[in-house]
Structure 1
Amino acid sequence: MNTHSSGTIAVFDALDVQGGAVIDALLSRGARVRGLVRDLGSDRARSLAGRGVELVGVEVGDAASLSAALKGVDAFFFMTTLEGDTHDVDGETRQGIALIEAAVTAAVPNVVFSSVGGADRDSGVPIFESKRHLEERLEKSGLRATLVRPVVYMDHLPSLGPSVEDGEVVLRMPLPDHIPLQLISIRDIGRISATFLLGAAEAPGGAIEIAGDRRTGSQIAAAFGERAGLPARYEALPLQALDDNPHLQAMFRWLQETPAFQADIEAVKVIEPTVWDLPAWIRSSGWAVAIPGQ
């Protein structure tokens, strides 16, 4: 397919890390980008404007502002998120419906929705089921849409640790060590989404689950240990360790019911040959573990 880099591509929530990754990928390919933002006065918004991104302020609850922001664009990227710490899945769904309806009103010719891996497999995970509902709304909307389904973000791994204990890197997750976890970098979500937005590739059947690596807990710990120059070990935690986060608990319970994520990594590499594995992400992120006493 021919690319559409001469047209304008809209990116919702351009100040979010994933929206930012899409914008980075689009700008690197010479695309004209319209960033839909909720805070035009932020430092991040000014930074995007300085890079040549056209910024448009939007309110998700204002249908007119959304459809006006999408008028005349060649393609549109969006994802949905839970607002704050409320775990408001219904609110996330309303957000997505508003964006889909705005794209219909504006007759956007090409839409890419960043959903989640496993959304199509009755996971029972609330934050997955809400995205599946939006996928179904898109499928019925009449829009030409691609569903990008990322697996676990590599970028979130540091929030789980790892730590250094007695000269050893230790990683703990509520996942048995015999179950491998598929991983993807946010950078690659952006690059793959940009490819679809530009019309440079098509996903078979209009949807693709994406991953760049597949590792057990011990293998993830070893990758961090190698970067730190230290031995490493993995410890599996019980699900009860996530009692304060029902959404994460539901996700890790589903992950234990293999196979959960089912991305075809080789197929992903056809679309994005430079997709990062975990060691590549660790090197590029500048990750360094804090060693007690140093």
Structure 2
Amino acid sequence: MKLAILSRNTKLYSTRRLVEAAREQGHSVRTLDPLRCYMRISSDGFAMHYKGQSISGYHAVIPRIGASVTRYGTAVLRQFELMGSFTPNSSDAILRARDKLRSHQLLAAQGIGMPATVFGDNPDDTADLLSMLGPPPHVIKLNEGTQGAGVMLTEKLSASKGVIEALRGLYAQFLVQEFIPEAKGADLRCFVVGGKVVAAMKRQAPKGDFRSNLHRGGSAKGARTTLAEQEVAIRAARVLGLGVAGVDLIRSARGPLVLEVNASPGLEGIEDASGVDVAGAMVEYVAERHKRRLAKRASKS
């Protein structure tokens, strides 16, 4: 299999592990910076160049597209799709997952549990908006924040209004959610590959914080998941169309609740905590899907 890894940095742990796993499994692999890919789009076909040379013939592409380059990165990935490459996470699926409001709406429509969430635009509606949610504490999240950045906890109604006013002054898009106290600053990252939870870790927020992200100083250890938690994680990834996803859950009194579905989850934390070769599982899944596509084409010919 001829495989491309879309990543801006070949030295990142996740990128290196995917390259290592692909080579260990006997595949040809190359890392491509999506910002150095440029495209020709025409009704007579699609073409792509990379650093002055034509690139084509990639059987599969694994996207590692950062939030800061989502728009251009997904356009490049879409071009690969139109040129016949398989990807575990399509460009449209990545866009669905990156937009927290959109993904919450899609998940809730399928009955997947999550903290109650409100969203509004006009400052005149703030008081009524918060009344729809209920009393504080409130969790306020930027709509496209990552790794715990742009996530705030407000313990008083006046604080919630103040933060909302400040964010609106910055023209930022945000959500407000109920706070789940019984989670006690912990969440569960379930790593879904091809409709299976292949690894899981429990992340714990550092003292004095409620965000459990490892980039925010949280700690992690391998975790056993219940069948209910696995089912929720798998369904959440499926609803958003993701073959590979990091699904963040919290354990609540009313069952597992989805916090976020990450379309480009990091591998270092989950591999260290769980001891599972997640990169290998990802490459195996992509290679198997490629084989199925070849077999399907052969059966039609």
The structure that has the greater radius of gyration is 2
Q: TM-score, normalising length from structure 2? A: 0.35
Per residue, is there more strand in 1 or in 2?
A: 2
Please report the TM-score for the alignment, with normalisation by the length of structure 1. 0.36
